[in-house]
Every structure is written in C-alpha cells, then in structure tokens.
Structure 1
Amino acid sequence: MNRRDLLRASVLANEFKEGDLLVGGTRDERVRQEARAALGAVRLGVITKTNFVDDGVSEALNRALDSRLAAELTHLTVGELKNILLGAGRVKWVRRYRAGLSSEVIATVVRVMTNQELSVVAQSLFNPLPGRGVAIGAPNHFGSRLQPNSIGDDEEEILFSILEGLTYGCCDVILGINPASDDVETIIRLEELLRRIVERLALPTRYCVLSDILKQTSARARTKVDVGFQSLAGTSKALQGMVGLDVDGLLDQARGFD
C-alpha cells in the first residue's frame, strides 16, 4: 500500500466523526469496515517507513524510535499487532517492544480496534512514574489535573477553584492554569500564586502556567517556573505558527525545564 492509499484508508477507517468529512471521511459503515480490513493487512514495516507528514515533528519522532526493535516488528501486520495487544501476553510484549512502535503504527492499530478492545488494552498497560510512594500511572490509580482557569486571571477565583478541586481529591498529576492573558507579567504573577499555594498547603504535586515556551523562558529569568509546557501542535507548520520555532528550536528552549 502506497502513501496515498495509507492516508486514504486511515481517514476512512476512523469511527465516524463529523470533522472527518472535511478530510475525506465517510458516514458509510461498510466503507469504514473495508478500510479497517485493508489497514489490518498492512505490515508495520510499510507504515514505519512511510512519511505521513514530512517535517521536523516526524523527524524528531523517528529519531526517538528504537530502530533495532522496529526492525524486529516489520514483518507483523496491523491485524497481528492487534491480536498481540489483545492476547494474554500483551503486557510482557509491550514492555519489550514499545520503543519500536512508531506513532503512526500505534495510530493505525487503534483505528482497527473497537472501543471495547481499546478498553481491554488500556486496563492492562500501565507506566507508573518512578519514585517511592508515587502512584501516578499505577494500576487502580485515577490521576487528575486540576485546571483552575479564570476569565480574568483573578487570583481569588483561582484560589477558590483550587480549594474546591482539592475537596474532590483532584490535582495529583499537576496543577495547571491556561492563562486568559498571555503576557509575561501575568505568567510571572500566576507562577508565583501557584507556588505559594503549593508550598502553603504542602501539596504533593507540580504546577504549571500553560503559556508558550518562549514566554515561560522569559518568566523563568524572574521567578521559578516549576514545569515547562509547549504543545507540539502536530506539525512543524503549526508549531511555527504558534511560537516561530521548529522542533529543534523548541528542544533548545526546553533544556533546563522539567
């Protein structure tokens, strides 16, 4: 299957969403089933070597792929990978081979699985964070982010939203605000607010103001930035539009952030 056919089948194989119609999707369940069957017969090696999006984001993901493990998986079809993920030995297999599965391979196998099958896989694969007493990512633990946004970045509103969220047991993963105003002064003010709250209440969590990486870098020169954030935006073009950087430039900015 060539690149064009892979892209076409990937769009058609999705469970129907209105947005898919904008990129060639269909409401026809029979067509979607045929597309899933076609994808199920494709070998992982074909998908891994196909450039779905030829840009810096894809290059960075490819560099992170374990080429030795990926080579061991080239002979498998998407359907065979699906059966492995649903089989009794899936946990051991994923631990061994996950670094050899490209993003495109993972996205493809998801397209040929039902919601029930995805649930079976999700209930058995865990990646707990390291550290004594840390439960995030572990079995039987439901982690959550607390997002106390305020239309006017009002500190009192943010504080009460945090206190309310804590009463529900939320916030172990991260305390993260999407600021309404994205200027550096606001970012600094909100970083300092979150720091005071976390320290005063001795919360066992991290905090983040989800601005772009350039503004967070500027803020870091004047206050503590606990966790840095930047969306990859999916493609280099989108990333350039957001912050004027490609992936390599983003990585340079990100060094020193957690």
Structure 2
Amino acid sequence: MTTYSIVLGRERHVFQDLKSVLACASPLKSGDVLAGIAASSNERRVAARYLLADMPLKTFLEDLVIPYEIDEVSRLIVDRHDWMAFASVSHMTVGEFRDWLLSYDATSEKLLAIAPGLTPEMVAAVSKIMRNHDLITVAGKCRVVTAFRSTIGLPGRLSSRLQPNHPTDDPEGVAGSTLDGLLYGIGDAVIGINPATDNLEACTRLMVLFDRLRERFEIPTQSCVLTHVTTSIKAIEAGAPLDLVFQSIAGSEAANKGFGVDLAVLREGQQAALSMKRGTVGNNVMYLETGQGSALSADAHHGVDEQTIETRAYAVARELNPLLVNTVVGFIGPEYLFDAKQIIRAGLEDHFCGKVLGVPMGVDVCYTNHAEADQDDMDNLMVLLTVAGVSFLIAVPGADDVMLNYQSLSYHDIVGLRHQFNRPPAPEFEAWLHRMGMLDHTGRLAPASASGAFSRNLLSYRASA
C-alpha cells in the first residue's frame, strides 16, 4: 500500500492510500461524508487534487483501489485492459490527460480508440480535477453508437426511454401511458417498464403487451421489462418475446452480489438474449442501470468514494456490450446526493465517465421528494446533458413516477429539448413518426388534425389492451 503526501501552504497533507486521495479529491457528496471518507476541509480537497493532477496514469494499473485477489470487477478491469489502446496516453499524468481531453487533438475518433485502454479509476480521477463545463465539452466529443431495432448515439440526435410504470401493472394503465408517450414521439431508445412485481407470469404478460403493440404499429424500437436478469432468462426459456435483458449493476463484486448477480450470470443473460435474434439493425441486447450510492448503501464500497466505485460499474457494462446504460442519478436519495448541486454534478460526472470509457450512456434526470432539489434543477441538468450529447433521457407521464414515487422528466420535456437543440430521435424511429403522420415537414410534432387517424388507432388499441 502506497502512502501519498503533499505540502500545501504550511501544512503537509498525508493520504494513507490511493483510494483516500480519490475520495478527498471528489466534490462534496453527502454519501462520502456518510462513509467517513470525504475531505475534512476544502484545503484538503485541493491538496488531493494537486496530487491527482501530478499522478501518472500508469499508477492506476499498479495500485488498485480494491485488490485483484478479492474482487472480480478488479480482475475484469485489469484483465481486459488494452495496452495498445493505452499507448498514446500512457506517458501522461492525470493533469496532462485532462489538458489533452480538452484539446482539439482529442477528436471523437481518438477518444473512441483509446477507450479500451482506460480504466475506470483513470477516468474518475481526471473527472475530479475538471469543472462541469470541462465534463460537458469532452463528453460532447464522445461517440458511442449501439443498435437493436433503432440506432442510439448518433451525432446530433437525442433518444428517449418511455417509462410507463404503474402501481399494479394494470394493462390498461400501462397501455395508456405508453400510447401517450408514443404520441409525443417518445420511446426510440426503449419502452421500458419497472414491473410492480418480479414474478415470471406478470413480467411475461407485460412483454407480450409491448410486443403486440410494437408489431401492430410496426414500431422500430425495443421493449424491456426491468426485471431481474434471472427472471429474464426464465422468460426466454419459456419463449416470451423478450428484446432486452435488464439488470442493475455496481462497481464491486460485493455490491453486485447485493443485486443477486455476478459476471457469470450477466454473461448468461446476454447470451440468452442474443440467442433470440430479435434485433434488426444491431445485436446490442443488454440494458443496464447504475447510480452513485448503490455500493455504499449495500456496505460494499471497500472505502472507495461513491463516484469512483460508480465508474467501476461501467467496466462491467462495457464487458456486456449493451444497447443502453443509464445512471438513475438522484433516485437513491439525499443520503448520497444531498441537493441539486450534488445531483447535477453527479449526472455530469457519470455521463462523462461512461462516454469516455466507451459506454452508451444515458441519464434518468431525477430526484426524490425529500432531496433539496426541484423540477427547475432538473431542467438545468437536462439542458446540460443535451449539450453534452447524452445518448438518451428517461421520461414518465407528467414527470411523476406513480409507482416508484420519484420525480423525473416528462414526455414534453424531451419534445422541448429536441426542438430547442435540433436533436431528432433515432433515424429509424424518426422515419416511422413521419410515416405515421406524427411529424411535419420540419420534423416537429404534427398538429392533432394531421395525426388524428393514428391517434384514433392508438386509442382503439388502448381500449382493447
């Protein structure tokens, strides 16, 4: 174990190990305070950032924050590291890497090429010495493109997840929320529901509902019932029309065990979904969710700060070649991200780190009602993420998830962002919206009279759901 120290002003700051440097360099997070690992003062935080800035990137390959022997995520990070991709930046310190990322030389093509050579800890470290605008600038240059029935992550586009959650999984309520979202042009990333119950029969019923809707209207998108990966495997074995396998993941073996998974079962889920061969324009079959604070809440963070352990989850995601990954940034609560400032920073960090590591990153711009945040704060974050080139955002009816009891974005928020920033949905979905008469010649939502026939068809489908 290496001890790190630096003299700042008249005081020498000593850090017992690398993970202590990373924790103290982090912007203030209530979760790190709760864990007892946050910097005790702003001076100590600055000292840790000075240390990080001068630290060679190679350090993170030699000094692991969680030992290789006790953690399969650490083993994955080390064993999958691509030395050839790392070569072009291997001589850099963290500070030099930051300067390069912000330079004209760091093009989209070069960022994509070096991604396999970067470890989560390298990327987390550089994010800690970057301002919000730095995170936005670099993430905006990253291109991570994936596909199943629609293509996600193309430059200049903004995709969306349609989230029609219902407290009892009532088919009428789910269908109504889904059709409402489709009329707003939402759902090109996925129509994804968090089921109120995780049993196989209920989940299969929802899969059938979404598949019949997709087939009836020939919608070029994919659906996902966000049940446990083992339930998805059982559904596939039973012949259910499953598109994407979902799972929440984290950045340590112990935290993933808390979710009831390990790398082997995740790979099994991926292979099961691939065997279905349901994609038309691609074969990315996994949908993964993360969020700062999950490892801490499971007491499975090994003393690593919540942002670094979160970034390690993206190594797990990268291994599974997913269609979609998103951080549910404010969902876990104020114990981990206390207020809007912390939520906004975490959303930008997660998006930056995911994209630089080559992960198709989206964000659930959200908060719980006991956090010090409101919808105006979420407006700020959704605009910042759109500028940063986020792959997709999540939307729920009225911005209020009546099943999970938290606040997110609404369908019309996505419409507003697309119009304001000229960010149409995935090209296959955009073409479908035109065919259905739901977009006018400028790409805006068509007047109700123009899409009236389709609206009536949707309503008749709801009535028969």
Give the alignment's TM-score, normalised by structure 2.
0.52
Moved more, 181-190 or 198-207: 198-207
Structure with the bigger RCO (C-alpha within 8 Å, sep 6+) is 2
Letter in 2 for 1:51: L
Q: Does 1:115 align with 2:141?
A: no
Which sections of structure 1, spanning at least 5 residues, go unmatched? none
Deviation of 1:45 after TM superposition, in Å, equals 0.7
Letter in 2 for 1:2: T
1:60–1:247 contact (8 Å) kept in structure 2: no
Letter in 2 for 1:104: E
- The structure richer in helix per residue is 1
Moved more, 9-18 or 231-240: 231-240
2:192 to 176, 200, 218: 176
Equivalents in 2 of 1:126, 1:188: separation in Å?
34
- The structure richer in strand per residue is 2
Name the residue aligned to 1:29. Answer: 42
- Taking the TM superposition and a 5 Å limit, the aligned residue runs for 1:78-227 are 78-91=94-107, 92-129=109-146, 136-222=152-238, 223-227=240-244
Name the residue aligned to 2:73. Answer: 57
Q: Please state whether the residue corresponding to 1:255 is helix, strand or coil.
A: helix
Q: Does 1:6 align with 2:18?
A: yes
2:90 to 56, 63, 74: 74
Name the residue aligned to 2:249. Answer: 232
Deviating above 6 A after TM superposition, structure 1's stretches of 4 or more consecutive aligned residues are: none
Deviation of 1:234 after TM superposition, in Å, equals 2.3
Q: CA RMSD in A?
A: 2.2
Deviation per residue, 1:142-166 (Å, 9 max, x gap): 1111111111111111111112222
Q: Please state whether the residue corresponding to 2:187 is helix, strand or coil.
A: coil
2:245–2:269 contact (8 Å) kept in structure 1: no
Name the residue aligned to 1:39. Answer: 52
Which sections of structure 2, spanning at least 5 residues, go unmatched? 4-15, 274-284, 286-465
Deviation per residue, 1:159-195 (Å, 9 max, x gap): 1111222233221111111111011111111111111
Deviation of 1:208 after TM superposition, in Å, equals 0.7
Percent identity, please: 32
Give the alignment's TM-score, normalised by structure 1.
0.90
Deviation of 1:25 after TM superposition, in Å, equals 1.0
Q: Please state whether the residue corresponding to 1:256 is helix, strand or coil.
A: helix
Deviation per residue, 1:62-116 (Å, 9 max, x gap): 3332133335533211101101100001114313312101111111111111101
Equivalents in 2 of 1:26, 1:188: separation in Å?
48
2:167–2:196 contact (8 Å) kept in structure 1: yes
Q: Please state whether the residue corresponding to 2:272 is helix, strand or coil.
A: coil
Equivalents in 1 of 2:32, 2:251: separation in Å?
17
